Amino acid sequence: MRFFNKKTVILLVAVITVFLLAGSAARGKYQFPFMERAVTVVLAPIEAAVSVMGFSFRQVGSSAGQLITVYRDNQTLKAENDQLRQNNLNVTEVMAENVRLRTMLDYKSRATQFDFVAAKVIARDPGTWTSTIIINKGSADGITKDMAVVTPQGLVGDVTSVYNTTAKVQLILDQCSAVGALVQRPESRVAGIVEGNGANPQAPRMINIARDADIIKGDQIITSGFGGIYPKGLPIGQVMDVVNDKGGLLKYAVVKPAVDFDRLEEVLIIVRSRESVPTLPVVSKNPLNPTTISVPQGAVQ
């Protein structure tokens, strides 16, 4: 035994044991039950450890596969959710536009005395946000300078510059705007001029009102039609306050516009009006021969 080291002996015993067990198994019975039990006792922990490790690897592989599947499903659901959200926004926008266009069509069907061209607001002048807008219709669509621009709610302004496919519109909020106006209330019918208010662009003023004139808070203001640009009867706004000029014989009314200019998206241009231009009476030196004349174009819009 001294010629063999310990490791060699152990290996030899193991090989012999395996052969004996294999032979016994081939004959259908065990010749060495003690040896079989010994080998089983020795190898059982190793087999158990290998089995546990194999199960763990299978579990890890299965978990990794499930995580990858869950991640892919989550990404798919996220993409579908984003698409549904975008579709919902598109549907909401289309519905809002349909409501506005339906309102405009209803107004056109009622205002049969006018011929309209519909246009979209495509820009505002950044330097004069409350003064001008740009629309997507121009001379190619029959638009010309000084045409009135409205919405179903009321007066917007008038066309000041025309190009081939676009036009610039001056709003009634502009300080340079001057619109002939009238109190709609039958017992009043006070006339004046609505102009833009530089101190408060969202609240134009009706000026040139006599101190004793019958105008009160809540009165509706409409266009008078004098001047030939704006037809008579277009809503301008509502009187929010009446203020006396200091030391004068006049007063002015603060007007809330009928149109919400911050939400202006589509407009209608009046390309033709079948209404006659109102005339103002002129005092004649001969009371037996009174005369009337039309207000000159551009004096009051």
Helix 33-110 to helix 6-26 angle (10° resolution) is 80
Alpha helices in the chain (DSSP H): 6-26, 33-110
Strand, coil or helix: what is 117? strand
- pLDDT score, position 292: 41
Q: What is the pLDDT of residues 263-299, one digit of tens each?
A: 899 999 999 998 776 665 544 444 444 444 444 444 4
Q: What is the pLDDT of residues 203-243, one digit of tens each?
A: 999 999 999 999 999 999 999 998 778 999 999 999 999 99
Mean local confidence (pLDDT), 180-188: 96
* Whole-structure pTM value: 0.65
Mean local confidence (pLDDT), 35-63: 59
The rounded mean pLDDT for the chain is: 80
Most confident of 17-21, 79-83, 92-96, 229-233: 229-233
Domain coordinates in residue numbering, the chain:
114-277
∠ CA 108-233-124, nearest 5°, is 65
Distance between CA atoms of residues 245 and 118, nearest Å: 40
Q: State the CB neighbour count (10 A cutoff) for residue 39.
A: 16
Distance between CA atoms of residues 149 and 142, nearest Å: 14
Residue type, 85: R
When pLDDT is cut at 50, 70 and 90, the band that residue 39 belongs to is low
- CATH, domain 114-277, list 1.10.1370.30, 3.20.20.70, 2.40.10.340, 3.40.50.300: 2.40.10.340
Residue 47: pLDDT above 80?
no
Q: What is the pLDDT of residues 213-222, one digit of tens each?
A: 999 999 999 9
- pLDDT score, position 94: 72
DSSP label at residue 231: P
